[in-house]
Amino acid sequence: MKPDIAEAKLQIYNTLSRKKEVFEPLLAGRVGMYVCGPTVYGDAHLGHARPAVTFDLVYRFLTALGYKVRYVRNITDVGHLENDADEGEDKIARKARLEQLEPMEVVQHYTVRYHKNMDQLNVLRPSIEPHASGHIIEQIEMIKRILEKGYAYEVNGSVYFDVERYNQHYNYGVLSGRKVDELIANTRELAGQSEKRSSTDFALWKKAEPEHIMRWPSPWSEGFPGWHLECSAMGCKYLGNQFDIHGGGLDLLFPHHESEIAQSTVANGTNPVRYWMHNNMVTINGQKMGKSLGNAMSLDDIFTGSHPLLAQAYSPMTIRFFILQAHYRSTLDFGNEALQAAEKGLSRLTEAGKTLARLQSSQGAQPIGIAKLEQAAWEAMLDDFNSPVAIAQLFEAVRIINSIAEGHLQINQEELEIMRTFYQDFTCNILGLSDEGAAGNDESTIQGLMETILELRQEARSRKDFATSDKIRDRLGLLNIVVKDGKEGSSWQFKP
């Protein structure tokens, strides 16, 4: 049974405390959640899929529990600096220059493609998807407040956050566990003459060099905001000075999130976030993904199988299922064997759903214990979103469903209803797994065609004309349709 949100003890691993904590929203029944979104200057890859799916799961589960969630995920379209802050080039500006486009053309192009990929993965759109470039004013206002409070300084039209001063009054390192002294000691002095007073300081505003094409006016110079600022400004604007959950990849922990905390704390006078959540990284065949390693693959590469490391194409739902089969705080390794296993497992799960739909209950059947499975699945999700354990419960249900369909087991009406609710809640609503078997086709037409074909084949079989029945099956096989003969007649599915 679905837990009541007033009673449910949702445990979230909070990076701030490095342990699981009981989740208590600031406002009863409501959750404000901010997640760092993509920098749109290239196609989405696995490194984008993991946080998107992870926080989609969080979003869906909070919603399933009954929370009203305002989910904000930004689009970074100002670009991070390509090199170090001194001679850096904006990633988007660089791409625009190379492709001879207006920067916003680059942004638009990749935003559209990102949305397409996310839709394919069945990742729900956030409640608000703000663009950094649309919030320059808010960012400038925030810088002003930080300057007023004396935690930033201006040099030659650029503004830097004074980490050492901040650290005297607060703790720069609460989140990442770093110590400012050690950071300074461990940082090589940059070759060029830095405008920064300390290597740990970071830019709030950068004056644009003449060749820099992305620029906005500000009190200090024509330039652009520093790369940590947008999240602070937009999080505050849409979720308030303090909100419940901030998510992102583990790679953003430092310096990005650490600096967000520092900026917001000074500007708004309060610690901005109650629960920090970080998803772990993905590897490919045990190796980190990176352009320099030659194993970077876009989601489209994966969906079409057009990467040399891939043995075949993997559907978006396979990728989603694969991601959900691991806990979000573990590293996840993409390999062909593992992906093929996920593909088959997902197919089994999906097929069982169809079987469940036509299952009949038997009067007076002994209890099987479906409620216990459902309970275990909810508890797994309440325990820091443990989707792999929830999925394990679903597979238990799959085994039971198939046994009933085989006639090895009987189920009473009450348990059948629990089973249907359980399956629907978890597979569709919480895990967000959609049946993509017939995606893009006119399903009812295909259903009709298939019924006819299978009927003809059945007739051939009844007169022992196996040459014909096999021919039909083989031809369908060429169309990636698998025919399965059972006691109750034949069924079919698209080859996974």
Partner RNA sequence: GGUCCCGUGGCCGAGGGGCUAGGCACCGGUCUGCAAAACCGUCUACAGCGGUUCGACUCCGCUCGGGACCUCCA
100 contacts RNA (rule: CB under 7 A): no
52 contacts RNA (rule: CB under 7 A): no
Among 92, 142, 405, 453, binds RNA (CB under 7 A): 405
Annotate each residue in 60-99 with x if it binds RNA (CB under 7 A) or - if it does not, as one string: ----------------------xxx------x--------
- Sequence-distant (6+) residues with CB within 8 A of 187 are 199, 200
Among 16, 128, 174, 253, binds RNA (CB under 7 A): 253
- Min dist CB 1 to RNA, Å, is 19
- Min dist CB 279 to RNA, Å, is 11
Phi then psi for residue 240, to 5 deg, are 100, 170
Dmax (CA) of the chain: 91
Name the residue among 367, 442, 380, 377 with its Cα closest to residue 412: 367
- Residue 252 CA to residue 231 CA, distance in Å, equals 12
Among 164, 174, 335, 379, binds RNA (CB under 7 A): 335
- Residue 109 CA to residue 434 CA, distance in Å, equals 27
Query: What are the distances in angstroms from CA 80 to CA 75, 192, 311?
Result: 12, 20, 34
Total of residues contacting RNA (CB under 7 A): 78
- Min dist CB 467 to RNA, Å, is 8
- Token representation of residue 221: 């110079």
Helix extents (H) in 121-225: 136-148, 163-169, 180-186
Residues 466-495 that bind RNA (CB under 7 A): 466, 469-470, 473, 482-487
Among 195, 201, 351, 436, binds RNA (CB under 7 A): 351
180 contacts RNA (rule: CB under 7 A): no
- Residue 212 CA to residue 228 CA, distance in Å, equals 19
Partners of 202 in the β-ladder: 161
Please name the helix (run of DSSP H) or strand (run of DSSP E) that holds residue 92, with its range, or none: helix 91-99
- Min dist CB 32 to RNA, Å, is 25
Using an 8 Å Cβ cutoff, are 5 and 29 in contact? yes
Query: Which amino acid type is present at position 426?
Result: F
Among 17, 186, 366, 429, binds RNA (CB under 7 A): 186
Residues 187-206 that bind RNA (CB under 7 A): 187, 199
455 contacts RNA (rule: CB under 7 A): no
325 contacts RNA (rule: CB under 7 A): yes
Neighbours of 358 (CB within 10 A): 9
391 contacts RNA (rule: CB under 7 A): yes
410 contacts RNA (rule: CB under 7 A): no
Annotate each residue in 285-324 with x if it binds RNA (CB under 7 A) or - if it does not, as one string: -xxxxxxx---x-------------------------x--
- Min dist CB 318 to RNA, Å, is 11
240 contacts RNA (rule: CB under 7 A): no
249 contacts RNA (rule: CB under 7 A): yes
DSSP secondary structure of 398-429: HHHHHHHHHTS----HHHHHHHHHHHIIIIII
N residues, the chain = 496
Residues 3-42 that bind RNA (CB under 7 A): 18, 42
Name the residue among 271, 264, 266 with its Cα closest to residue 230: 264
Question: Given the rule CB under 7 A, which of 109-117, 137-145, 170-178, 211-219 is the region that contacts RNA?
Answer: 170-178
Question: Given the rule CB under 7 A, which of 135-143, 231-239, 280-288, 301-309 is the region that contacts RNA?
Answer: 280-288
Among 109, 144, 348, 420, binds RNA (CB under 7 A): 348
- Residue 364 CA to residue 263 CA, distance in Å, equals 64
